[in-house]
Structure 1
Amino acid sequence: MSDTNTGWVRSWGAAPQSAYDGLGSLDGHPPLADVTLRQVVRLSGGGRRVRVRFTNEFGTAPLTIGAAQVGLAVPGGGVRDGRALTFSGAAAVTIPTGAPMLSDPVELPAAALTELSVSLYLPERVETCTCHDPVLDTGWTIPGDAVAAPALPANATVLPVRALISAVDVVPGGPASAIVVVGDSRTDGAGSTPDTHHSWPELLAARGAGFVVNQGISGNRLLNDGAGTAVLARFDRDVLATPGLGFVVLSVGGNDLAISFAPRDDGPLAGFLKMFPGAPVTTEDVIAGHRQLVARARERGVRVYATTMAPLEGADAFTPECETARQVVNEWIRTGGEFDAVLDFDAVWRDPEHPSRIREDFHSGDHLHGSDAGYWALADSVDLSLFG
């Protein structure tokens, strides 16, 4: 099911969002002006040609890239085999407000699970940074134009978000299809060890699943905006427009239920809940949202899988009402017949002695997000033949 016209297949992705609707990691960061951003991404599947998708989709003004480069990442921020990126043959480009921009292709043979380094120079101030927040791979901000520097300059500082890049596509050596996972923080990899690629979609790629693209956003919901654009609203851009799309995995709805059934008082969650507008939703609403995604994906002729929602008792947002709602939706996911297959993540993570809780060794300490072992357990539970 790869793209028969161009051969491009997406190998890495990070769902774009505004710096103002994430976790606020850029708050207080110096303005991005006359700086180079250097960021590391890991390909899920390999190929011989590469192109980078830059993004100004949440920008409030045109974005100028003065120079850009992609190469093989060296530990510590270095680069080897760097290739200058161009845009319709030009070294610099201005990306219109609200738009993405694909680089021209470059020859850069890279195997599956290769780490690439992407550098871009920003000669002018970026008014609103389109980003992905948080980032689990260390990136850097370097004063001036350091795009071509093979080693990380000593004056580099850590970049706290994934900034202005949203995807890397490759031309693989044979037929291939992309697997796109869309979800929330549990898909994004929250709780895993940084710089280890331990989100469960990345671990699924490490098991040999092929081209796996992680389109999770921490705090994301299915039906309403808040932390990132709602899945129903971003589905066409972040999932259905993926080059080489063959499979969609839905892992959404948990935050919709948790926020809808969270205590509405002046307790510890009061400030957090202000990030999430919209009226509370029902289990019927969440089920209807899944059906919408299935229908839209099937129009593209792709297979659609879903994960069940894992437990959350012990987390701040837990209520008995939320647990009841989670069980209702999970039962529908398992038995409703809407999906080509179900990945029963609830069964993988739940404590056999206390099924409304995650096993102690599978959560990161907050009873909500996975530990490295927890995410490995999810990836290991997936039948790779589903993607054959």
Structure 2
Amino acid sequence: MAVTLAALLGTAPSAAARPTGSPAAGTAGGTWSGTWGTAPAPAAPDGTSRTGFDDRTVRMIVHTSVGGGELRLRLSNAHGTRDLVLGRVTVGRAESSHAATAVPGSLHTVTFGGAFGTTVPAGADAVSDPLPYDVPAGADLMVSVHLPRPTGPATWHWLAQQTSYVSEPGDHTGDAGAAAFTGAESSWFFLTGVDVRGAATRGTVVALGDSQTDGSGSTLNDNGRWTDAFARRLAADPATRGLGVLNKGIGGNRVLRDGAETERPQRGTSALGRLDRDVLHQSGVRATVLYEGINDLQLAPYARAEEVLAGLRTLADRLHARGIPVIVGTLTPFEDSPLWTAEAERQRVALNAALRTSPDFDAVADFDAVVRDPADPQRVRAAYDSGDHIHLNDAGYRAVADAVPTDLLTADDPAISAPSTHGRHP
């Protein structure tokens, strides 16, 4: 299966040595499910993403949402300008979400078509071979990627809210210690997903959004995004346990326009343009949470509520055609933030009113209602404000997670491939 995926994605195994064995792990089976994910975006106009890497190892920490006995990695050169040569890639357990040190004995090599490494053409993605590996839910995995040749501008995710580590020259993917990792970045590079499979895995919920979904304002390295809190909520409920959660938010992202139309291309492809890659091509998608539109209202050229609503309806139609239920989130208040205007506020209120009653979505998560200040509904509650008056703190994101309805997720038999009868869920 992995070789077929690599061929379909245009990736070829490298001529590197082949592995001699793999670690023991729990029983696999079940449904391939996304346990962690992020959305790739183009390099920024300057900085590390623009210059890229040459003979460096990048070590990235990712937090799992669901466990399994087998894993595979997704890596992307979607926005690259040349072939991306991946050297050795390893996965292990991180001793802490705050450091580049691996649990001793936990590092294992991940292969591509049976080989240690692969080449990913510009514009393409790669999926690794399945690796038997015990992956707990709610754990910190460590993925280390050696980049032996100049990468050029990197496909990355700029707003990680998680520290990644960059080594001195050479292949340090097998280092359990952190001594070689002298550089630090608050972004992920090339890595876009971790899938798991196990006896209890049941599929994936994908959150498509902007910086609110990305977790801007949450505590660095502490997994305080609303999607992290939502994953913990699903895991605690026997009716939803076994579902993974993928965070496909991009800071500054819009429904209708690409980041390349602004001075910050790292804001990514529009939600309409990235739906296939970031949602439909993910593993075992059970439902999608659409929580986006505020940047369309507050960034020039300014969209109107009806335009954003039309875009969200188009996204819902495309998801429904694949049998995927859609939960839509209302937009939270942002008065006193730098980009707030009275007109943007009027458009936000109008859009929220339409979202609360539209039959085009299967359910509504009324994020606005749970985080606004009852005494001043144009503002975020002080207890939930990260300080910039638009993004939430950890407590605010927990409130958002608690507002997502889960009755759509409790069915044992998801209609992943069949057309859905859409409309507001009773």
TM beyond 0.5: yes
Question: How many angstroms apart in 1 are the aligned matches of 2:30 and 2:273?
Answer: 27
Equivalent residue number for residue 263 of structure 1: none
Residues 321 and 155 of structure 1: CA distance in aligned 2, closer, same or farther (over 3 Å): closer
Secondary structure of the residue aligned to 2:252 is coil
8 Å contact from structure 2 (residues 56, 171) kept in 1:
yes
Q: CA deviation at 1:51?
A: 0.5
Q: CA deviation at 1:77?
A: 1.4
Q: CA deviation at 1:373?
A: 1.1
Equivalent residue number for residue 40 of structure 2: 16
Equivalent residue number for residue 361 of structure 2: 339
Q: CA deviation at 1:335?
A: 0.8
Equivalent residue number for residue 165 of structure 1: 191
Does residue 228 (structure 1) correspond to residue 268 (structure 2)? The answer is yes
Q: CA deviation at 1:122?
A: 0.7
**For 1:322-346, what per-residue CA distance to the aligned partner results, in whole angstroms no more than 9, with x for missing partners?**
1111111101100112211100000
2:247 aligns with one of 214, 237, 261 = 214
**For 1:33-79, what per-residue CA distance to the aligned partner results, in whole angstroms no more than 9, with x for missing partners?**
11101000011111110000011110000011111101111122122
TM-score by length of 1: 0.90
Q: CA deviation at 1:137?
A: 1.3
Equivalent residue number for residue 229 of structure 2: 203
Question: How many angstroms apart in 1 are the aligned matches of 2:357 and 2:244?
Answer: 28
Equivalent residue number for residue 23 of structure 2: none
Instruction: Name which of structure 1's ranges 118-127 and 77-86 shifts more when overlaid on structure 2.
Output: 77-86
8 Å contact from structure 2 (residues 40, 155) kept in 1:
yes
Secondary structure of the residue aligned to 2:234 is helix
1:232-243 to structure 2, matched below 5 A, reads 232-243=272-283
Q: CA deviation at 1:158?
A: 0.4
Equivalent residue number for residue 155 of structure 2: 130
Question: How many angstroms apart in 2 are the aligned matches of 1:50 and 1:155?
Answer: 25
Question: How many angstroms apart in 2 are the aligned matches of 1:318 and 1:287?
Answer: 20
Secondary structure of the residue aligned to 1:17 is coil
The structure richer in strand per residue is 1
2:121 aligns with one of 96, 100, 104 = 96
Equivalent residue number for residue 378 of structure 1: 400
Question: How many angstroms apart in 1 are the aligned matches of 2:390 and 2:180?
Answer: 38
Q: CA deviation at 1:86?
A: 0.9
Sequence identity (%): 38
**For 1:225-283, what per-residue CA distance to the aligned partner results, in whole angstroms no more than 9, with x for missing partners?**
111110000011101111100101100111101124xxxxxxxxxxxxxxxxxx43222
Equivalent residue number for residue 265 of structure 1: none
Q: CA deviation at 1:97?
A: 0.9
- How many residues are treated as equivalent by the alignment? 363
Secondary structure of the residue aligned to 2:299 is helix
Question: How many angstroms apart in 1 are the aligned matches of 2:65 and 2:30?
Answer: 19
Q: Which runs of 5+ in 2 are unaligned?
A: 1-28, 236-242, 260-266, 411-426
1:55-66 to structure 2, matched below 5 A, reads 55-66=76-87
Residues 196 and 258 of structure 1: CA distance in aligned 2, closer, same or farther (over 3 Å): same
Question: How many angstroms apart in 2 are the aligned matches of 1:31 and 1:131?
Answer: 10
8 Å contact from structure 1 (residues 305, 341) kept in 2:
yes
Q: CA deviation at 1:135?
A: 1.6
1:189 aligns with one of 215, 235, 239 = 215
TM-score by length of 2: 0.82
Does residue 87 (structure 1) correspond to residue 112 (structure 2)? The answer is yes
Q: CA deviation at 1:354?
A: 0.4
Q: CA deviation at 1:150?
A: 1.1
Question: How many angstroms apart in 2 are the aligned matches of 1:256 and 1:303?
Answer: 24
Does residue 68 (structure 1) correspond to residue 92 (structure 2)? The answer is no
8 Å contact from structure 2 (residues 172, 180) kept in 1:
no
* Structure 2 letter corresponding to 1:208: L
Does residue 363 (structure 1) correspond to residue 363 (structure 2)? The answer is no
**For 1:269-309, what per-residue CA distance to the aligned partner results, in whole angstroms no more than 9, with x for missing partners?**
xxxxxxxxxx4322211111011001000011011110000
Question: How many angstroms apart in 2 are the aligned matches of 1:91 and 1:248?
Answer: 34
Question: How many angstroms apart in 2 are the aligned matches of 1:152 and 1:232?
Answer: 40
Question: How many angstroms apart in 2 are the aligned matches of 1:172 and 1:322?
Answer: 46
Superposition CA RMSD, Å: 1.6
Question: How many angstroms apart in 2 are the aligned matches of 1:188 and 1:155?
Answer: 25
8 Å contact from structure 2 (residues 255, 271) kept in 1:
yes
8 Å contact from structure 2 (residues 85, 119) kept in 1:
yes
Q: CA deviation at 1:7?
A: 3.0
Question: How many angstroms apart in 2 are the aligned matches of 1:217 and 1:305?
Answer: 18
Residues 241 and 347 of structure 1: CA distance in aligned 2, closer, same or farther (over 3 Å): same
Does residue 327 (structure 1) correspond to residue 327 (structure 2)? The answer is no
8 Å contact from structure 2 (residues 30, 199) kept in 1:
no
Residues 155 and 346 of structure 1: CA distance in aligned 2, closer, same or farther (over 3 Å): closer
Residues 163 and 145 of structure 1: CA distance in aligned 2, closer, same or farther (over 3 Å): same
1:281-320 to structure 2, matched below 5 A, reads 281-320=303-342
8 Å contact from structure 1 (residues 177, 247) kept in 2:
no
Does residue 37 (structure 1) correspond to residue 58 (structure 2)? The answer is yes
Residues 234 and 141 of structure 1: CA distance in aligned 2, closer, same or farther (over 3 Å): same
Question: How many angstroms apart in 2 are the aligned matches of 1:73 and 1:162?
Answer: 16
**For 1:200-243, what per-residue CA distance to the aligned partner results, in whole angstroms no more than 9, with x for missing partners?**
01110012253111000000000001111100000111011111
8 Å contact from structure 1 (residues 39, 117) kept in 2:
yes
* Structure 1 letter corresponding to 2:283: P
Instruction: Name which of structure 1's ranges 183-192 and 143-152 shifts more when overlaid on structure 2.
Output: 143-152
**For 1:154-212, what per-residue CA distance to the aligned partner results, in whole angstroms no more than 9, with x for missing partners?**
55210232101000001132351210000000010000101111110111001225311
8 Å contact from structure 1 (residues 85, 103) kept in 2:
yes
